Amino acid sequence: MSLKELTREAIEKMPAGPEMDALVAEILGYNVLGITHCWPDHECFGYDVPYELLEDCEISWTELRPVYLDHCVCEFAKPDDKRYWEHGAGCLGVVPEYSLEDMYAFDIVDWLVEQDYRVNVTVSPDGAYCQIYKLRDKDFFANLYEAISYGIGETRPLAICRSLLSLYKEGGNIKENLK
């Protein structure tokens, strides 16, 4: 699924995992090339295998992870080339597990705060809730923030990722929502 195809319903149903991590990484500015098999230490194959074929593939010693073009030193592939199978494994970086790990999910929160958003993450026995606020009015006495996006999930990382995807969907482009 691409960012353009996202719907609110799809966001709410999307599970944590490589597909969500790839979409989040695109929003954060990564040049995501696709999803491929990676070793546990995150060294990845540079093969072009469609995600649909890999989805049900059971290779016990690898995991599916989205990859991005980190730095290219190849002779044949161009840096903006989406055909990542032409890149060597050293050119590819593995997208962090934003939807699974707190450490990476809070990198999203930090990024949003740098963009002048405010983020509130609440955890309860039923799950987690993340709400994103945007500055609407700056006053001498107080700053007024308006809630513009939310995400609900079983875990904090999932709620944070869903709220970021919702923000993108509702705003069309986060960069346009800035300031």
Total domains, the chain: 2
Listed residue (72, 62, 70) closest to 36, CA to CA: 62
Interaxial angle between packed helices 156-171 and 102-114, expressed in degrees from 0 to 180 and rounded to the nearest 10? 40
Gap between the Cα atoms of 119 and 132, Å rounded: 5
Q: Do 9 and 85 lie in a common domain?
A: yes
Q: Are residues 73 and 150 in the same domain?
A: no
Domain that holds residue 119: 102-177
Per-residue model confidence as pLDDT tens digits over 66-122: 877 776 666 555 555 555 445 555 667 788 999 999 999 999 999 999 988 999 999
Residues 119 and 37 in one domain: no
At 53, the pLDDT band (50, 70, 90 cuts) reads very low
Which pLDDT value is given to residue 73? 61
Question: What predicted TM-score, i.e. pTM, was given to this entire model?
Answer: 0.77
Boundary-marking domain end, from 48, 65, 94 = 94
**135: closest CA among 125, 126, 127, 145?**
145
State which of 94, 120, 141 marks the end of a domain: 94
Paired tokens of 82 = 């989406």
64, 94, 124 - which closes a domain: 94
Helix (H, G, I), strand (E, B) or coil at 18: helix
Write the pLDDT tens digit of every residue in 131-172.
Answer: 999 887 766 666 677 888 999 999 999 999 999 999 998 874
